[in-house]
Structure 1
Amino acid sequence: MNMPRLLSLLALCALAGCVQPATVPVPQAPAAPAAPAAPRVVTPAVPAAPPVAAPAAPAAPTGPVDSRTGLHQASLISVSGDADSRFTVLFRPAQTEAARIDAAPAQLCRQAGRGLEDSRTNKPGAGSAMPGVQMMIVTCSAA
């Protein structure tokens, strides 16, 4: 047989599938255990915060005024006393004017028919169980 004829016969057989190519098994190294995949860090999208407006200034106190103290009724929590000589006033200073707070002790004593002897007011939040509330202690002179 001549060589070109042999090559065409082999090519024809290969196309027809009658000849299988020889394969040599390739030794493979044992597979190493796969490293655990590192967790993917997910950063949540944080929406931009809207701008915060400054708090509005409290409105000027208005409304009825207590006749005993001269403080706005909305600011007055309680007035207690003993025999018109000593008074304890609980009030919210943010709901009345400072001038009314300063004038309240003299007005209390005047309403009781006495003169003002002493008065003191605690500082806001000083030992108070009621935030935003102040206590005023007024002592009137003897009759």
Structure 2
Amino acid sequence: MNMPRLSAILAVCALAGCMAPATAPAPQAPAVPAAPAAPRAVTPPVPATPPVAAPPAPAAPSGPVDGRTGLHQASLIAVTGDADSRFTVLFRPAQTDAAKIDAAPAQLCRQAGRELDSSRTNKPGAGSAMPGVQMMIVTCAAA
């Protein structure tokens, strides 16, 4: 190829936009070092705990009632006595009504044909070999 022809081709290409003009690269500002990122507080994940249900309410005492004491039969463990004047009653207070427990000594003496002289009930768990069981000692008046 000859030189005038190459110059003509380059001129046509420049006019047609085939060639990008030679430009110097734009000066860049010096890079500023980035500030170090503040450390992130890492919180360990909290394990999900299942919800805890409330304990079930005790069932209302029901069922047959003992004729001597008036306590629910399900709560009554034993009734012992000596000559209809002194009785020992073992029972589970959680399985009968408090009102029936309070009325039991008088009813027990009435069934024996006597008046109530005295009664006492131990506190739950007080020296008991049977947890949840109470002992009631009933003394009836002399005939």
Residue in structure 2 matched with residue 132 of structure 1 by the alignment: 132
Does 2:81 correspond to 1:81? yes
Does 2:103 correspond to 1:108? no
Runs of 4 or more off by more than 3 Å in structure 1?
A: 46-49
What is the Cα deviation at residue 56 of structure 1?
1.1
**Once the two structures are aligned, what percentage of the paired residues are identical?**
88
> Partner of 1:65: helix, strand, or coil?
coil
Written as runs of structure 1 = structure 2, the 5 A alignment for 1:1-143 is 48-143=48-143
Gaps of 5+ in 2: 1-45
Residue deviations 1:108-128 (CA, integer Å, cap 9, x gap): 000000000000000000011
Distance 2:96 2:104 in 1: 11
Query: How many residues are treated as equivalent by the alignment?
Result: 99
Residue in structure 2 matched with residue 16 of structure 1 by the alignment: none
> Partner of 1:89: helix, strand, or coil?
strand
What is the Cα deviation at residue 47 of structure 1?
6.5
TM-score (normalizing by structure 2): 0.66
Matched letter for residue 72 of structure 2: H
Distance 1:132 1:79 in 2: 17
What is the Cα deviation at residue 50 of structure 1?
1.9
Matched letter for residue 85 of structure 1: S
Residue deviations 1:69-92 (CA, integer Å, cap 9, x gap): 000000000000000000000000
Residue in structure 2 matched with residue 10 of structure 1 by the alignment: none
Distance 2:49 2:111 in 1: 54
Matched letter for residue 58 of structure 1: P
Distance 2:103 2:138 in 1: 11
Matched letter for residue 90 of structure 2: L
Gaps of 5+ in 1: 1-45
Distance 1:113 1:126 in 2: 31
Residue deviations 1:28-84 (CA, integer Å, cap 9, x gap): xxxxxxxxxxxxxxxxxx964422111011111000000000000000000000000
Distance 2:47 2:86 in 1: 58
